[in-house]
Amino acid sequence: MHTLTVWDKLDAFIGWLSVVAEAIYAAVTGLFRGPSGADTYHHHIIQAVVKKSYDQLYLHYCQKNGLKPHCVSNIRGLKGFWIGSPSAEYIVINFHGGGFAMDATASYLDFWPRIQKSLANAGIETAWFHCTYTLTPHAAYPTQFQEAVEALRYILEDVGRSPSQILLAGDSAGANLCLAVISHLTHPSEDVPELVINEPIKGAILMSPWVSFHHSWPSVEASEHRDIDAKDVTTKWSRAYLNGRPSNNYIEATEAPDWWWDNIKAQQTLVLAGGDEALLDPIKVWVSKFKISNPDTTLVIGDRECHVAPLIWPMFGDYHETQQERALKHWLLQRLR
């Protein structure tokens, strides 16, 4: 078991103090936010505490590391940015989590570049394209789904890469979008413009994929006091994403029958999950379905780890390497050599 040092605890305490200070400041300024501010006082405080926008974080990351920013947008609704050269051997398209409602945090620009660096040290050149899709409540399904498909279309058609050089990666809601895109390649959705590819993509990396919006799974109850996901919050997020629509196979992967996953256009899939996460049961059920026709599927469950632990724990001062991160590095090094 990893034990925090005195300095680790002090660093975490200082981090918490900064969060509290930001919350107090937001509580005061929120009273005077006016019509241009967040829709509610509560939302004003939450947004002030948890985010600079992902784009702002990226610009700060580039400045800190002496990199020239490379942002992308097009008339089809795509928005995103690059870390690495578009001519790299492999391209990873990443969709961040956050319940479709929250932007990515600085931990994403620590974690994924660290993975990228470990591959570079092994002689494997990769580039990450981070899709900054529209968040709820500004848009709902199928907007995020469409933007995710457009990210893949951009890499294929505009950048000119072949499917066998592309991986999709995402955590939680971002992994949900990965599965929506993969489904769309085999079963084109009427909600999104069709995208045809002539061979499977290299692979998919799904960290704690949000495959079910239901709370009837035993793991939801069992992990109520162990995981970061709270039922009332995820209920609000899923309702905002659906925006009155019924669910479907592109929204909740567990709703799809076994045959849906036949002839999926992905060579291999890695699924990561935490042993203490609320989504563990639906993830395991979905993997058992998916693996029937996609045997090159690896499920790794981090013992006593929470939902997206590699990205969440560093936000609270715990920087030790998780089991999920080790598994991800090992899998990529094996599959991309």
Distance CA 154, CA 71 (A): 13
Q: Are residues 36 and 58 in the same domain?
A: no
Q: Are residues 118 and 139 in the same domain?
A: yes
CATH of the domain at 74: 3.40.50.1820
Q: Are residues 145 and 235 in the same domain?
A: yes
Q: Are residues 63 and 46 in the same domain?
A: no
> E strands along 53-146, which residues?
71-73, 79-83, 90-95, 126-131
Q: Which of 11-15, 46-50, 177-181 has the lowest mean pLDDT?
A: 11-15
Give the structural domain span for 187.
51-336
Asked if residues 243 and 274 have their Cβ atoms less than 8 Å apart, the reply is no
Q: Residue 300: beta bridge partners? A: 272
Q: Are residues 40 and 133 in the same domain?
A: no
Distance CA 270, CA 294 (A): 11
Q: Are residues 4 and 148 in the same domain?
A: no
Q: Residue 270: beta bridge partners? A: 205, 298
**Three-class SS of residue 125?**
coil
Q: Are residues 150 and 28 in the same domain?
A: no
Number of domains in the chain: 2
Q: Are residues 177 and 299 in the same domain?
A: yes
Q: What is the pTM of this model?
A: 0.86
Q: Are residues 22 and 153 in the same domain?
A: no
- List of residues 6+ apart from 106 with CB closer than 8 A: 57, 61
pLDDT tens-digit series, residues 67-102: 999 999 999 999 999 999 999 999 999 999 999 999
Distance CA 183, CA 191 (A): 13
pLDDT tens-digit series, residues 95-131: 999 999 999 999 999 999 999 999 999 999 999 999 9
Q: Are residues 183 and 329 in the same domain?
A: yes
Task: Let me know if 208 is a catalytic residue.
Answer: no
The last residue of one of the domains, among 19, 35, 50, is 50
Q: Are residues 235 and 251 in the same domain?
A: yes
Catalytic residue among 18, 87, 172, 219: 172
Distance CA 203, CA 188 (A): 19
Q: Are residues 144 and 244 in the same domain?
A: yes
Asked if residues 124 and 50 have their Cβ atoms less than 8 Å apart, the reply is no
